């Protein structure tokens, strides 16, 4: 059932089975399908690609179906309507990636719906200053409203460099979603 608190959700979701069905998940002796057991068979911590889990990526197209399981036969829980939105890959199963969004909601998307580009989603109740230098008393370059998606250029200590709407500057890492505490991001 779609989450009503999302502005990027379709109120009506149609499940269309296109192409072939995904292979069924392994079942236990009681006949229950388990995503956890499928991830364990995929490799350490559910890794298929060998890339770190968790890791941040972004949505590639303007419309991405978030499913309840790793396959087309699983229902669509909601539809993201914004390319570039940062999400966190928290699991892998074949060509499917389990993701978590900025609100903590999780589900599965096809790998082609994701890209390695690092982005940031501004959070908070009001505008966040984008500063000329990584210092609280630096000149304000622009004000970023909550929900703005920006390119993540680099991060150092408590500050990250973002580009949004043609403006580039520095913002505190706690003002957006899309980077881990203490993570260093290089240009």
CB 97 within 8 A of CB 111: yes
Lowest-confidence segment of 27-31, 48-52, 99-103, 164-168 by average pLDDT: 27-31
Instruction: Give tens-digit pLDDT for 103-157.
Output: 999 999 999 999 999 999 999 999 999 999 999 999 999 999 999 999 999 999 8
Strand order in the sheet with 119-122: 140-144, 128-131, 167-172, 159-164, 149-156, 119-122, 176-177
| 99 vs 90: CA distance, rounded Å | 6
pLDDT tops 70 at residue 16? no
Instruction: Give tens-digit pLDDT for 65-114.
Output: 999 999 999 999 999 999 999 999 999 999 999 999 999 999 999 999 99
What mean pLDDT, rounded, does the chain reach?
Answer: 82
pLDDT of 47 reads 66
CB 58 within 8 A of CB 85: yes
Note the CATH number of domain 120-177: 2.30.30.40
pLDDT of 142 reads 97
Domains in the chain: boundaries: 35-117, 120-177
| 32 or 20, which is more confident | 32
pLDDT tops 60 at residue 35? no
Q: Give the pLDDT band of residue 46 (cuts 50, 70, 90).
A: low
| 44 or 139, which is more confident | 139
Maximal CA-CA distance, the chain? 64
Do the two domains 35-117 and 120-177 of this chain adopt the same fold?
A: yes
Share of the chain above pLDDT 70, in %: 74
Q: List, in sequence order, every residue forming a beta bridge with 156; answer none if it has no partner.
A: 159
pLDDT tops 80 at residue 3? no
pLDDT of 163 reads 98
Q: Which residues have CB under 8 Å from 115's CB, separation 6+? A: 57, 58, 59, 60
Q: Which CATH architecture has domain 35-117?
A: Roll (2.30)
């Amino acid at each position: 059932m779609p989450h009503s608190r999302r502005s990027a959700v379709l109120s009506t979701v149609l499940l269309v089975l296109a192409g072939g069905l995904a292979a069924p998940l392994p079942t236990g002796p009681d006949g229950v399908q388990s995503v956890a057991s499928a991830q364990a068979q995929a490799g350490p911590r559910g890794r298929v690609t060998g890339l770190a889990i968790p890791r941040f990526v972004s949505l590639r197209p303007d419309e991405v179906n978030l499913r309840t399981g790793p396959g087309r036969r699983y229902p669509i829980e909601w539809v993201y309507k914004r390319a570039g939105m940062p999400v966190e890959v928290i699991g892998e199963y074949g060509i499917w990636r389990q993701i978590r969004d900025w609100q903590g909601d999780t589900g599965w998307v096809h790998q082609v719906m994701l890209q390695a580009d690092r982005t940031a989603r501004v959070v908070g109740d009001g505008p966040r200053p984008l500063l000329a230098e990584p210092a609280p008393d630096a000149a304000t370059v622009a004000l970023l409203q909550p929900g703005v998606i920006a390119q993540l250029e680099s991060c150092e200590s408590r500050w990250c460099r973002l580009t949004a709407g043609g403006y580039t500057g520095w913002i505190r890492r706690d003002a957006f979603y899309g980077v881990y505490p203490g993570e260093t991001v290089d240009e």
